[in-house]
């Protein structure tokens, strides 16, 4: 029965699409008097010609040139002078984040200026007469303008992509050069020895133990043909920061210059549990009298959700996560990130260990505990900070080749308090691709909002003058990119929204959500993903393409064509 229903839905959706296309075509045909009409013959050639003219205009335009120059100049500046948090990892993360943010912002401004000015100024300056008099349909002029701006953006993004990649490589190289310098100046090595050491450090994979057991010590000893003890003596000559930095080279590779899949535990079937509990309460006649059935169910959902995020004292919990197959490279590692919330009384244990207010003692196992490949963390039980993200790494063997991961957490805090996980407070990350491919997909996703902005600009330029079109699109763009901030400001985010909303609150939230969704230019925080070395998969790229291109840009362009075809470009004077 279900299958029949699905087929019926599919057929009706298909018919709906055909009718929609037909309707749009008919709408466009009304009053169709122009040469060529909606004909596709020779369209690419003509669209290409308009696009080339638009690109030339963009290159000539001083304002657009300023944005491009700022964008291009910012990359080396950030690579040379960006400090991040003072570590190589922070420097690269900051470089990636700011280059992407600044590039998209500058290109967005350039897109808005170029797309709104191109057509509007041609109409105002009457240059459009020359174009409109030629045998080129108006929809092709619109498409050409949009295509030209998009091509320019794609070129600039490709340049920025290469610049980003180069910038990252430069930061890594300068860091290695600094390491060599420290080893020569402070450690007293020769240049050749320092080069060999850095090469050996570069080959060390995985976090490994710290201090005198660090895996870099035998690696350096082998490279120098020294005893381990001599290497330790060499390392203690280095300043503390330089010693810490030796291990960060691999950390960058494992945590930033990587493409990691992110898995979160799936929400359990709360509906069934709620239903069961509701029926129990009903049978026991314990339903609250002053609450409606919907309200009771809502409260039960909240209770179950909270309970599922809690591990009671001296107990444990198992999660089974499934993700894409892991990427079998040399740097394959798995990271577990978690965040527990709450404050507990600080105590000092008899062994002298201090447990602070914002700490909790938990113990983790990745993989089957009976298996020799299981990984236990931490090696020595100790407090982990609460109200902050904690990340630890586990080796490759702990994950099943199919992408299945078993995760176990035990709450062993001696203060006998609950371990309360934050909402979405558990995440497993593992390598599922290469950094290079990820960065390429990232720039592709970044192009999509720019295409939407170009469509928006062209649309407004068909019926507004340049200043008006620019102002409107700029306001819409700024509202679109600050959607999260606006949602917080008007109090519709989950943490601020009233616990017991009135129908007015619900209406306010629904209208605000729809408005913000319409205004939003992108749904993917590309820079955050890249900075954390997270995978940007093709599904995300596809979704973003459907949302920005199909659902937003296409209707805008169709409307632009509709308006432009009906617009009287020159008044007939008799």
Partner 1 sequence: MKPAAKCWIYLLTGVALLAASGTYVAPINAMRVESKLLASTIQEDANPNHALAVLMAIGRAPLVDYLWLRATKLKEEGRFFDALQLSEWICKLEPRFPSVWAFHAWNMSYNISVTFNSPEERWRWVKNGLSLLRDRGIPANPNAVQLYKELAWIYFHKVADYLDDKHWYYKNEFALMMEEVLGPGDSPDWPGIAAAPTEWKAVAANPQVNRLIGEMQLLGIDLAKPGVMLGLIDQRRAARSATQPAEPPAWWAVLDAPEWAEPIRVVENYWRSKRLREELKLDPKRVRELIDTYGPLDFRLAEAHALYWANAGVRYGRVRAVWLDADKMNTDRIELFCIQNMYRRGKLILSPEAKKGVPPLLMPDTRFIEPMYQAYIEISKHYKASDINTSGLVSENFDTGFKSFIRDAIVRLYQEGETTRAQHYFDLAKMHYPHEDYNHGLEYFVDGMIRGEMKVMTTYQAQNTVVGYIQRGMLLLAYGRSVEGLNYLRLARRVHEAYNKDVREGIKLRPIEEFIAQCLAAAKSQMMPEMYERLARHFDSAAAASQPR
User: Least Å distance between CB 535 and partner 1?
Assistant: 18
- 9/423 with CB nearer partner 1: 423
**Buried-state track 98-127, b at ≥16 Cβ within 10 A, e below 16:** bbbebbbebbbbbbbbbbbbbbbbbbeeee
Restricted to residues 469-498, the positions that interact with partner 1 (CB under 8 A) are 485
User: Least Å distance between CB 204 and partner 1?
Assistant: 17
Cβ contact 480:521 at 8 Å: yes
Asked if 84 is part of the footprint of partner 1 (rule: CB under 8 A), the reply reads yes
* Cα–Cα distance, 113 to 65 (Å, whole number): 11
Cβ contact 167:99 at 8 Å: yes
Region from 189-197, 239-247, 277-285, 393-401 binding partner 1, contact rule CB under 8 A: 239-247
Asked if 76 is part of the footprint of partner 1 (rule: CB under 8 A), the reply reads no
How does DSSP classify residue 325?
Answer: P
- 244/437 with CB nearer partner 1: 244
Asked if 98 is part of the footprint of partner 1 (rule: CB under 8 A), the reply reads yes
Half-sphere exposure of residue 116: CA atoms within 13 angstroms, side-chain side: 24
DSSP string, 204-227: --S----GGG-THHHHHHHHHT--
- 133/236 with CB nearer partner 1: 236
Cβ contact 95:168 at 8 Å: yes
Residue 336, classed as helix, strand or coil, is strand
Asked if 533 is part of the footprint of partner 1 (rule: CB under 8 A), the reply reads no
Q: Which of 94, 200, 281, 472 binds partner 1 (CB under 8 A)?
A: 94
* Cα–Cα distance, 276 to 75 (Å, whole number): 58
Cβ contact 339:421 at 8 Å: yes
**Buried-state track 498-511, b at ≥16 Cβ within 10 A, e below 16:** eeeeeeeeeebbee
User: Least Å distance between CB 417 and partner 1?
Assistant: 18
Cβ contact 533:516 at 8 Å: no
Chain CA centroid to CA 43, Å: 37
Closest CA to 471 of 120, 62, 113: 113
Region from 233-241, 285-293, 306-314, 363-371 binding partner 1, contact rule CB under 8 A: 233-241
Q: Which of 117, 145, 309, 339 binds partner 1 (CB under 8 A)?
A: 339
Region from 115-123, 310-318, 353-361, 500-508 binding partner 1, contact rule CB under 8 A: 353-361
Region from 27-35, 37-45, 162-170, 238-246 binding partner 1, contact rule CB under 8 A: 238-246
What angle (nearest 5°) sits at the alpha carbon of residue 489, between those of residues 109 and 421? 110
Asked if 565 is part of the footprint of partner 1 (rule: CB under 8 A), the reply reads no
Region from 24-32, 117-125, 141-149, 382-390 binding partner 1, contact rule CB under 8 A: 382-390
- State the DSSP H helix or E strand holding residue 523, giving kind and residue range, or none if neither: none
Asked if 161 is part of the footprint of partner 1 (rule: CB under 8 A), the reply reads no
Q: Which of 21, 86, 325, 498 binds partner 1 (CB under 8 A)?
A: 86
β-bridge partners, 385: 359
Asked if 97 is part of the footprint of partner 1 (rule: CB under 8 A), the reply reads yes
User: Least Å distance between CB 359 and partner 1?
Assistant: 8
Asked if 70 is part of the footprint of partner 1 (rule: CB under 8 A), the reply reads no
- Sheet with 316-322, strands from edge to edge, namely 316-322, 404-411, 362-366, 375-377
Q: Which of 244, 291, 550, 551 binds partner 1 (CB under 8 A)?
A: 244
Region from 111-119, 195-203, 377-385, 406-414 binding partner 1, contact rule CB under 8 A: 377-385
Region from 36-44, 206-214, 438-446, 456-464 binding partner 1, contact rule CB under 8 A: 206-214
User: Least Å distance between CB 523 and partner 1?
Assistant: 17
Closest CA to 480 of 509, 517, 505, 508: 517
- Quickly count: other Cβ atoms within 10 Å of residue 387's Cβ: 14
Asked if 389 is part of the footprint of partner 1 (rule: CB under 8 A), the reply reads yes
Q: State the residues that interact with partner 1 by CB under 8 A.
A: 82-87, 89-90, 93-94, 97-98, 188, 210-212, 232, 236, 239-241, 244, 339, 354, 356, 358, 383-385, 388-390, 485, 531-532
């Amino acid at each position: 029965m279900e299958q029949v229903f699905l087929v019926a839905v599919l057929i009706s959706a298909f018919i709906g699409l055909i009718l929609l296309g037909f309707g749009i075509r008919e709408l466009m045909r009304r009053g169709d008097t122009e040469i060529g009409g909606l004909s596709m013959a020779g369209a690419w050639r003509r669209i290409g010609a308009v696009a080339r003219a638009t690109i030339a205009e963009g290159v000539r335009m001083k304002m657009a040139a300023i944005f491009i120059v700022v964008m291009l100049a910012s990359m080396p500046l950030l690579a040379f002078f960006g400090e991040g948090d003072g570590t190589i990892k922070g420097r690269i993360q900051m470089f990636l984040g700011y280059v992407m943010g600044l590039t998209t912002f500058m290109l967005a401004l350039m897109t808005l200026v170029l797309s709104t000015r191109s057509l509007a100024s041609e109409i105002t300056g009457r240059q459009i007469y020359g174009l409109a008099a030629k045998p080129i349909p108006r929809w092709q002029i619109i498409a050409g303008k949009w295509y030209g701006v998009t091509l320019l953006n794609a070129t600039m993004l490709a340049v920025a992509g290469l610049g980003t990649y180069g910038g990252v490589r430069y930061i890594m190289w300068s860091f290695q050069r600094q390491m060599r310098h420290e080893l020569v100046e402070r450690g007293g090595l020769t240049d050749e020895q320092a080069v060999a050491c850095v090469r050996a450090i570069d080959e060390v994979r995985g976090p490994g133990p710290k201090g005198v057991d660090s895996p870099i010590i035998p690696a350096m000893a082998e490279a120098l043909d020294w005893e381990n003890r001599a290497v330790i003596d060499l390392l203690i000559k280095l300043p503390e920061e330089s010693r810490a930095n030796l291990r960060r080279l691999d950390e960058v590779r494992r945590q930033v210059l990587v493409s990691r899949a992110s898995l979160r535990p799936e929400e359990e079937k709360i509906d069934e549990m709620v239903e069961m509990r509701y029926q129990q309460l009903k049978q026991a006649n314990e339903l609250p009298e002053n609450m409606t059935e919907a309200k009771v169910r809502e409260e039960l959902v909240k209770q179950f959700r909270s309970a599922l995020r809690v591990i009671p004292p001296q107990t444990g919990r198992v999660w089974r996560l499934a993700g894409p197959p892991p990427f079998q490279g040399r740097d394959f590692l798995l990271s577990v990130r978690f965040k527990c919330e709450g404050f507990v009384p600080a105590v000092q244990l008899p062994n002298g260990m201090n447990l602070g207010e914002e700490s909790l003692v938990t113990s983790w196992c990745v993989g089957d505990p009976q298996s020799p490949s299981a990984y236990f963390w931490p090696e020595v039980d100790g407090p982990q900070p609460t109200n902050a993200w904690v990340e630890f790494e586990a080796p490759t063997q702990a994950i099943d080749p199919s992408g299945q991961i078993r995760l176990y957490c035990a709450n062993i805090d001696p203060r006998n308090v609950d371990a309360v996980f934050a909402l979405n407070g558990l995440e497993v990350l593992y390598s599922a691709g290469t950094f290079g491919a990820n960065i390429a997909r990232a720039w592709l996703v970044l192009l999509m909002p720019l295409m939407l902005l170009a469509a928006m600009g062209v649309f407004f330029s068909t019926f507004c003058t340049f200043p008006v079109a620019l102002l409107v699109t700029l306001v819409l763009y700024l509202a679109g990119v600050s959607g999260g901030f606006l949602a917080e400001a008007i109090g519709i985010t989950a943490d601020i929204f009233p616990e017991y909303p009135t129908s007015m609150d619900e209406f306010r939230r629904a209208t605000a959500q729809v408005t913000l969704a319409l205004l939003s230019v992108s749904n993917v925080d590309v820079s955050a993903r890249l900075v954390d070395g997270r995978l940007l998969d093709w599904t995300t790229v596809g979704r973003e393409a459907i949302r920005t291109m199909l659902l937003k840009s296409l209707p805008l362009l169709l409307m632009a064509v509709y308006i432009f075809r009906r617009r009287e470009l020159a008044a007939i004077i008799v």
